[in-house]
Each structure stands twice: as structure tokens, then as C-alpha cells.
Structure 1
Amino acid sequence: MKLYVILVTWQLLYAGLASAVEPISTSIAVGMAAALTGFLASYPNLFYHFHECCRPEWISFNDTHLDLALNKKLFGQHVASRVVLKTVTGYMNNPNPKKPLVLSLHGWTGTGKNFVSQLIAESIYHEGMQSGFVHLFTATAHFPHQKHLEMYKEQLQMWVKGNVTKCPRSMFIFDEMDKMQAGLIDSIKPYLDYYENLDGVSYRKAIFIFLSNAGGEKIAEVALDFWNQGRDREEIQLKDLEMAVTLSVFNNKQSGFWHASLIDKNLVDVYVPFLPLELKHVVQCGVAEMESRGKQADRDVVERMAQDMNYFPKDARLFATQGCKVISSRLDYYT
């Protein structure tokens, strides 16, 4: 858009000069203006390379990028990695989906839910999380007051409808669903359903991602059971977790999903469980953080930091209470 304004301004400038100078200069000015006009006509798509818009130049799914990022940057989440890659890839490669993609990511803090939503955005949008077509909502920041619930519902409906009208391939991320007011998220339930369009707007190419700590205890229980039975963590499958998570979320009165119709009507495509992280995963996070800062990873420092963190159960010190969430600030103390 900025380039367009500049070129049009030059056109007007030269047109103005043409009426104020001698004939030979006038012909030059008019010629330059004509050349600019021809340039614009010949390259109408040039502007799209300078300003983000709802076009393939800015929105194009890269499954290889998502696959590599999940395998190399996400630690201790073999179930979540597999489920997210297959679900997102299948949806993005479907030219005619029957409904929007709806993912619900569950697990304790620091296990990678926000990070995965970021990786999904980066695999689809050229600008990643900075894209004007990616919209992040947090319960405590955007919907803090119970007394304004009805107003929030109307605003959320208008926001989703307006942005999908602008770009069908819009992404909406709802963080802190465990703190969301009950009933709020059902206000957009029609947009997640199997409708070809609503009031002339199709939502089938939109993506909705919900992030929640709810269900984390059930996921930890399953992981602990596997450990107590002497079974490998990698043996845990989605089927071992999904039903427990669904019931826990639906029946949790403190969750924004409490008795939500979008769950009752099976509009969530998949519940993605994030396992609690072990010490070795915290170490991997620490090494990755140091490398991201352009430093050579000092494994002794990282392991000392990881050992000093809190783990549960207390007698076994198996799972990190805070996962990898505090790694960045903790490293500053140990280095």
C-alpha cells in the first residue's frame, strides 16, 4: 500500500508539473507519468509483495517446516507432535474442508502448548504470529469481567465474523481456556459447525486453537501409571489420554469448556494432550535456549539448573512442576 501511494503521488506531481513548464519539459513529465501508469498496469501484483494480504504469497502451508520444527524444537511430546502434524497437514491439504479446523491443546504449564500454536502459525503464515490474520485472545486480558459476559459474546462474534470475511484463512488462538468464563466460547459455536456458510460467510478454512491447563492432572496420572508399570513413556498413545481429557474438561466448572456445546456436539476435531516433562526434557529445553542466544551450550550449567527445579512426585522427582516455562529466566541466574 505504501508503494502504491508513492507511485500515485509521483503521477500527480508529474501531471502538475506538466502544466507549469515549457513544452519540451511537459512532454518529458507526461512521458514519465505514462511510464509509471504502464508499470502499474503491467505489474498489478507487485504491491502484494510489500504489504501482507490474504493471498498465497503470504499464506501457504509448509508441511516440511512444521514436521522439522516439531521434531527438533518440541521436547518430550511424541503424542502431541504426531497428532498435530497429521491433523494440520490433512486439513491444510484438503481443498474443500467440511468445517473449520478446531484443536484443543491440554496439559500443565510449560509443556509446549503455546509453542506448538506458534509453530503452526509459522508453517502457514509468512509473518507467523505477527501476521494480521492470526488473532490471539487470553481470558484474563480480553475477557476479565463476569458482568460483561454478554458484551464479550457479541464482540467475539463480530471479531471472528469480520476477520473471516476479510480472510477466510484466519487463525484464532484462545489461551487460558481454564480461566475463560463459562458460556463465552459457545457464542462462536455456529462458526465451528458444518455449515457451508452463515449470512454469506464461509468459516470452513478458518483455524481455531484452544489452549488449556485443564486436563493436565489426568494426563499426569496416565504418565505416572505407565512409569509405575515400568513401561516406556513413548508407549503412551492418544487413545490412552483423549477420553480422560475430554471428560475432565467438560465437567470442570472452572473451565471455559464446562458443559460447552461445541464439545457436546463433537466440534473439536482432536484433543491434543501434552505430557508432563521429565528432567531430561528440561535439559533439552535449556540447551536449545542457550543455542538460540548464539552461545555454545554448556551442558553442565544446564543440568545444574534443571536439577535445582521442582519435580513431582516428591519422592521420585519424576515430572517438572513448571516444565520449560521458566528456563529463559533461570539460565540468566546460572550463567
Structure 2
Amino acid sequence: MGEQEDICDRLSGSQIEGEMEEQEEGDGKMQSAPLTFSHFSSSVRAMIRIKLKYQAIKRRRLEMMVGPGNGGMGLVQTGAASRTSPKIFTFDSLTPSTMSSPSYNSYQKKRKKIRRSRVMFPSGGDCRAPPKQEQSRAKNCLLLLLAIVFLQVYNAIENLDDHVLRYDLEGLEKTLRREVFSQQGAVEALLSHLKDYLSTYVHSKPLVLSLHGPSGVGKSHIGRLLAGHFRSVVGESLVLQYYVLHHCPLETEAWYCARALSTLVTEMVTRAEEDEKIPVFIFDEVEHMHGEILGTLRDLVISQHSNEYLNAVYLFLSNLGHGHITKHLLHNSSSGSITNSAVGCHNNLVKELSLILHNTLENIHPIWAEAELLPLILLEKSHVMECFMDEMSREGFYPDRTNIERLAGEMEYYPSVGGRKYARTGCKQVVAKVNML
């Protein structure tokens, strides 16, 4: 094969040299003659023709070398060495026969052996170290977070207990249950509001409570009990008991009274802020309070200028809406909510009366839109007798049952409804009658 290729190279080289000599002779002749455009175009055509002929000769030589079966050309002999060009290795050249060769199989076995190799331990003893279980740091952080939350909640509960103990609400509850008759629902609601409010020190608004009821049902008495209790726990300077007919009897002085009251409240809340305590303001006979004073109190209640105005308890005592309370009791005295003496029934009665009073009181003045209404119900004859017994014990009289019934029978009552007799004036005249004994 090598000799045949040399022969082909020599043949093609001689042919190309002959053609090139002819071309040079032609070019020499053309150079001897003057150059014209036709001469230039004929030379270009000759060069193209030479190039095409050279490519045709080269193509024919390649066909003779790699023809089908290397036969039919007479130049390629069987058994001659063929000229090969370097090849690039790829996996595509692997054939099934190549992959089944002994060398390839031994290579694959060696790779499997290396892949399956494992560390072996001595069989004489268990020298293998047990795997260590790594503890997650997130678990420790979670436990720490739970401990912090528990301490915070426990501290908050302790603080709530400290505030409640400071105001001795348990003692106040005992006093109200002992001294106030037939007002279980109102007393429960009053204590509930006080406990919720006094359990913390920081608030978003002051606590405003308004007690309403007919004459003699215990409004002023509750006010005096609250004033005495809070004076003993927070101090005299942080409790204000304001009687309208005493502090501001004339309507012409209402504007000056309103300014003086605003100044007094400001001083008390500032002093309470320094002592970290909550002041208590009790306003009795609010039905006689002038519009200027009510407007000043509403401005103080809804004031958002500073925090000290938000930490205060306002208690209003009046007989406004007593007609609605009396009418409701007399018309529904035979219903289960009134005949039953359970505390839950009294609470339901208080809720019903509160809804009735809201619209009436808000039309009188908008300050009652900011208040929690606590209605007090009429007293029955048995409650009046309890008032006589308590007052006679205070004055040192022997509580004779026959004498108490006689005194209670001298009081005025509404017509009996459902087997119940409600006193028109409650216990208001009890003190006067006992003093006449």
C-alpha cells in the first residue's frame, strides 16, 4: 500500500508540474505581449482551471485509496500497509466484542473489588466504637426558650397577685356582702370590674362605673364603704368623695366648680403616678350635677394626654333611670329571673336592666357611654327588716324580732306583686326610725 501511494503521488505531482510549466510558458508569452483586459481575464480563467484540475486529481486519488473493497482501481494491493491518520479516543468505538475482551473483564472485576472493599474488625473482641449521636443545638435553644416563657408567665401571675393583695379586694368583698342587702348581682359585677382593673397597673383607659337605682337601695352606702376601704389601702390623699350638693350647690358657680375639680383630679392622678397606685374618685348625687361638671369629667375620662389619667377609678352614684328599674321589677316580679334568689339570676337581671338604662342615660349626657352601668333593684320587706336589725345592733338596741316587724310594717310599699312587697323608700328611713326609739 505504501508503494502504491508513492506512485500515485508521483503521477499527480508530474501532472501538476506539467500543467504548471504550460501555464508558465503561457504567462511568459503573455508577458512578452502588451497586457490588455482580455489577457488579464484569460489568466484568471487559467488559474481557476488549474485549481479545479488539481482538486479533481486529488479527489480521484482519495477515491482510489478508500474505494469499496479496495478493488477496481489496480493501484491498491492486498497486504500493503495503509496510511492511517491519528484518531481521537471515544467510548463510541467500544463494541460488544471489545467489552467482552479479557482485559476489559479484568478491569471491571478490579473496579468492583475496590468498590466492595470494607473495613474489617478483629473477631477476638468488640473493638468497634459505638456511633455517637449528635445532639441538636436547636433542641437546647427550644428548652431555653420554654424556660424563659415559663418564668415570664410565672412572674406576671405573681405581679397580678401582688396588685390584688395591695388593694385587699377579698376584704372589700366580705364587707360588701355583709353590709349590702339584696344586691348580689350588682356587688358581683362591681367586684369583678375592680379585680380585672386593679390586677395590673398600666391601662389603656380609666375604669368608669355607674350605680343606678331608686332611693334607699344602698347606693350611697356602697359609696361610703368603698371610700373607707380604699382610704385604708391607698391613703387618704388618693380617694375623693365628692357630694355635688355640698361642694357645688349653686348652678351659677358650676364653671368655677368644674375648674377646681379638674385641678384637684390632676393633682391626685399625678401623686398616684409617683406612688404607683390607682386613685379612686366617688361622685354621689350625680343627678344634681351640672352640665359643666359632667363635661369636665368626660374630658378627664377620655383624656389621652398622659398615662396618669388612664390609671384611675371613677364611680358615679345616682337615681337616674330609677323609673325604668321600678317598672321592670313590678311587671316581671313573677318571672323566674326575679323569684329565684340565686346569684346567677341576679346577674341576669343586672344585665337586662343595664341594656334598658343605656339608651336613656346616653341621651342625658354622653359621659354614660364611657361607663359600665350597674343597676340596683328594689328592696323587699325582708331586706328592710335586715336593715333595721343591723342599725339597732350598731346603736346598742336589742334586736327584738317583734319590734323589728312592727317598725318594718310602718314603711311604705308598692302593691304586692307575685307575693312580693317592694319598699318605696328602701332603707332610707331606717336610721331616723331607730334614732326615735
- Shared topology, TM-score over 0.5? yes
Q: Match for residue 354 of structure 2?
A: 242
Of residues 178, 188, 193, the one that matches 1:82 is: 188
Amino acid in structure 2 at the alignment position of 1:67: E
Q: Match for residue 172 of structure 2?
A: 66
What displacement does 1:233 show?
5.4
For the 8 Å contact 2:387–2:430, the answer to whether it is kept is yes
Q: Match for residue 272 of structure 1?
A: 374
CA–CA distance in 1 between the matches of 2:395 and 2:166?
29
What displacement does 1:287 show?
0.9
CA–CA distance in 2 between the matches of 1:330 and 1:233?
31
Q: Does 1:328 align with 2:431?
A: yes
How many residue pairs get matched? 263
Q: Match for residue 232 of structure 1?
A: 339
Q: Does 1:261 align with 2:366?
A: yes
CA–CA distance in 1 between the matches of 2:287 and 2:172?
27
For the 8 Å contact 1:174–1:211, the answer to whether it is kept is yes
Relative to structure 1, the CA distance from residue 233 to residue 220 in structure 2 (aligned partners, 3 Å threshold; closer, same or farther) is farther
Of residues 254, 263, 270, the one that matches 1:149 is: 254
Amino acid in structure 1 at the alignment position of 2:185: V
The 5 A counterparts of 1:1-335 are 60-126=166-232, 131-168=236-273, 169-193=278-302, 195=304, 197-198=305-306, 202-229=308-335, 231-232=338-339, 234=341, 235-236=345-346, 237=348, 238-251=350-363, 258=364, 260-263=365-368, 266-268=369-371, 270-313=372-415, 318-333=421-436, 335=437
What displacement does 1:267 show?
1.8
CA–CA distance in 2 between the matches of 1:214 and 1:233?
26
Deviation digits for residues 137-166 of structure 1 (CA, Å, limit 9, x no counterpart): 222222222233322222221121122222
For the 8 Å contact 1:218–1:248, the answer to whether it is kept is no
Q: Match for residue 6 of structure 2?
A: none
CA–CA distance in 2 between the matches of 1:177 and 1:144?
12
What displacement does 1:311 show?
1.0
What displacement does 1:299 show?
1.8
CA–CA distance in 2 between the matches of 1:194 and 1:332?
46
Question: Quick check: which one's helix share is greater?
Answer: 2
CA–CA distance in 2 between the matches of 1:125 and 1:97?
22
Q: 5+ residue gaps in structure 2? A: 1-161
- What is the RMSD of the two structures over their aligned residues, measured on CA atoms? 2.5
Describe the SS at the equivalent of 1:287.
Answer: helix
Greater Rg by CA: 2
Q: Match for residue 38 of structure 1?
A: none
Amino acid in structure 2 at the alignment position of 1:150: W
Could you tell which deviates more after superposition, 130-139 or 284-293?
130-139
Deviation digits for residues 76-130 of structure 1 (CA, Å, limit 9, x no counterpart): 11211111111111111123222222110101121111121222233333179x9
CA–CA distance in 1 between the matches of 2:236 and 2:402?
38
Describe the SS at the equivalent of 1:132.
Answer: helix
For the 8 Å contact 1:175–1:211, the answer to whether it is kept is yes
TM-score (norm 2): 0.55
TM-score (norm 1): 0.71
Could you tell which deviates more after superposition, 232-241 or 275-284?
232-241
